[in-house]
């Protein structure tokens, strides 16, 4: 069973640039959630994708956007980067079975460390 993978591992950008982060979900999972984790803080929910549609969003501006593909992998795009966007970006995958209202645990990838200069 393949776990959640993310790329790239590290990224350095300058203010105003755009960035795309990628995530491959764990085998058998259909839901991907993205989180931002600042140093010394807990992960903050950005948004979630279920079957290629945005399924919920946290308190993040529209310049944070995403995609989910038919194979359930996902991208996080951030436009007009700001210094405060520097953080560890985490992707988590899970299996949601809506007909059974079943909660499955979210499993996290290793993260992408983004530094904005």
Residues binding another protein (CB under 8 A): 4, 6, 31, 33, 35, 40-45, 48, 50, 55-56, 58, 88, 90, 92, 94, 96, 103, 105-111, 113
Alpha-carbon distances of 7 from 19, 42, 61, 72, 111, rounded to whole Å: 12, 21, 23, 15, 8
Structure tokens at 18: 């755009």
Residue 4 or 80: which CB sits closer to another protein? 4
Residue 80 or 94: which CB sits closer to another protein? 94
Q: Shortest Cβ distance from residue 16 to another protein (Å)?
A: 26
Element holding 103 (H helix, E strand): none
């Amino acid at each position: 069973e393949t776990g959640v993978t993310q790329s790239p591992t590290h990224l350095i950008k300058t203010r105003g640039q755009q960035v795309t982060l990628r995530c491959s979900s764990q085998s058998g999972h259909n839901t991907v959630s993205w989180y931002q984790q600042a140093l010394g803080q807990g992960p903050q929910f950005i948004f979630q994708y279920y079957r290629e549609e945005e399924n919920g969003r946290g308190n993040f501006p529209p310049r944070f956007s995403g995609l989910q593909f038919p194979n359930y992998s996902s991208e996080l795009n951030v436009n007009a980067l700001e210094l405060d966007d520097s953080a560890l970006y985490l992707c988590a995958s899970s299996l949601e079975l809506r007909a059974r209202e079943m909660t499955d645990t979210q499993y996290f990838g290793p993260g992408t460390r983004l530094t904005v200069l």
